[in-house]
Structure 1
């Protein structure tokens, strides 16, 4: 499984993929180095330090391996986070990489070097070199994570509006964040003001000399920006992208609902008891009764009791099938809601 996809994730528009291909290749290389190669290399440094403590010893002290285990755990945590949800938020690459590589230094490289110097004083030069390599690797990882973010988003292009990446436009004392379903901004003109509006409320976006205006169902918001035309184009593109995804999601949900209705209509509960067979539909209404010749000799009251018991059993079977269909439908919706 590829750690970082070769194509920008969650993009189906060929034009957008082609326009951002070169930018994504550079970003992917930098991100692989910062969040993959260098953290793993730091973990290897800690493993080598742990191995140096056992040089000339028959049994390595168990506690000398703790720094190596901690550094490896940090590298695995960073890679797991990046694979699961880190790719969608480039602004978190630098903080996450800095946090994990710093943890590798504090929990792995520094204590591992101290243990190695104590147990293997003859290898002081090698230990110090490995410690310096770990520190250099952590610093390089943070620098490369910053470069990866800048390579992808520092110079906004129109095609970025058709991606799920948060876009940040700063200037004129305002920081505008264009998210996946809303726009938020912070202004510092005469005091700090935090505001935001969801795309569902935006009717149109216009550009003026030093600001864009978001016309909503409840009024207009003026947002000062350094490049109004670029901000307007990106915001319009992102809103159009959001509307396409919303309409597609609504269409998928409608199809799934119709499929559920058809499946419920096809539910048929069945039960057999004492020569009596009963079938019912999803509403519990009896759709068929079959009586074997053996029931002809039964007393009418006994026959009626067995028939009602068989009907109840068939209804229970139909309810179970309905519940299973509804639960399967709900389980299929849970990942989308959590996403």
Structure 2
């Protein structure tokens, strides 16, 4: 399984993929080094330090392995986060990498070096060299994470509007964040103002001198920006991308709903007792009653009891099938 895909996630437009291919290759390489190779290398350093504590010792103290385990756990947590949801937020690459590699230093490299120096004083030079390598690796990982973010988003291009990456445009006293379904901005002209508008509320967007104007059903918002033309183009591109994804999601949900309705229509609960067979539909309405010849000898009250018992059991069977179908539908919807 590839840790970081070779193409930008959540993009189906070949033109966008081609336009951002070179930028993504640089970013992917830097991100693999910062969040993959270097944290794993720091974990290996901690494992080596733990191994050095056994030099001259008949039995390696169990607690000397704790720093190595902690460092390995931090590396695994960083890789898991990156694989699951970290790729969609480049602005979190630096904080997450700094946090995890810093934790590797505090929980792994530094205590591991102290334990190794105490239990293996003859290997002081090697221990110090490994400690320095761990510190250098953590610093380099943070620097590379910053470079990965800057390589991808430092110079916004129009094609980035068709991606899921949050786009940040900073100007004189303002900061605009174009998300996947809304735009937020902060201004500091005299007093700080934080505001935001979801794309579903925006009717149209226009530009004016040093600002863009968001027209909604409840009024207009003026957002100050340094380059209105480029921000306007990015925002329009992102809104188009969002609308396309919304339409696709709506079509997919409508198709899944029709499939669910078809499956519910085909639900049939059945029950049999004492020569009586009853079937009901998904609404619990009786659709068929079959009586074996043996029921002719049954007392009417007994036959009625068999009928009622079969109806209740068939309805319970149909209800269980309906619940299973609805739960499966909800689980499939949540997974998307």
- Distance between the aligned counterparts of 2:48 and 2:95, measured in 1? 27
- Distance between the aligned counterparts of 2:46 and 2:118, measured in 1? 15
- Distance between the aligned counterparts of 2:278 and 2:100, measured in 1? 64
Matches within 5 A, 1:1-339: 1-336=1-336
TM-score normalised by length of structure 1: 0.97
- Distance between the aligned counterparts of 1:253 and 1:206, measured in 2? 33
Shift of 1:272: 0.9
More moved, 250-259 vs 24-33: 250-259
- Distance between the aligned counterparts of 1:117 and 1:292, measured in 2? 88
Shift of 1:295: 0.8
- Distance between the aligned counterparts of 1:315 and 1:72, measured in 2? 54
Q: Is the 8 A contact 2:109 2:131 kept in 1?
A: yes
- Distance between the aligned counterparts of 1:311 and 1:195, measured in 2? 59
Shift of 1:284: 1.3
- Distance between the aligned counterparts of 2:110 and 2:25, measured in 1? 34
- Distance between the aligned counterparts of 1:114 and 1:98, measured in 2? 22
Q: Flag structure 2 segments of 5+ consecutive residues without an equivalent.
A: none
Q: CA deviation digits over 1:206-265, x for unaligned, max 9?
A: 112211111111111111111111100000000111111111111111111111111111
TM-score normalised by length of structure 2: 0.98
Shift of 1:98: 0.4
Shift of 1:277: 1.0
- Distance between the aligned counterparts of 2:101 and 2:120, measured in 1? 25
Q: Is the 8 A contact 2:74 2:100 kept in 1?
A: yes
More moved, 165-174 vs 203-212: 203-212
* Aligned-residue RMSD, C-alpha: 0.9
- Distance between the aligned counterparts of 2:262 and 2:186, measured in 1? 50
- Distance between the aligned counterparts of 1:107 and 1:28, measured in 2? 28
- Distance between the aligned counterparts of 1:319 and 1:51, measured in 2? 61
**3-state SS, counterpart of residue 184 of structure 1:** strand
More moved, 30-39 vs 208-217: 208-217
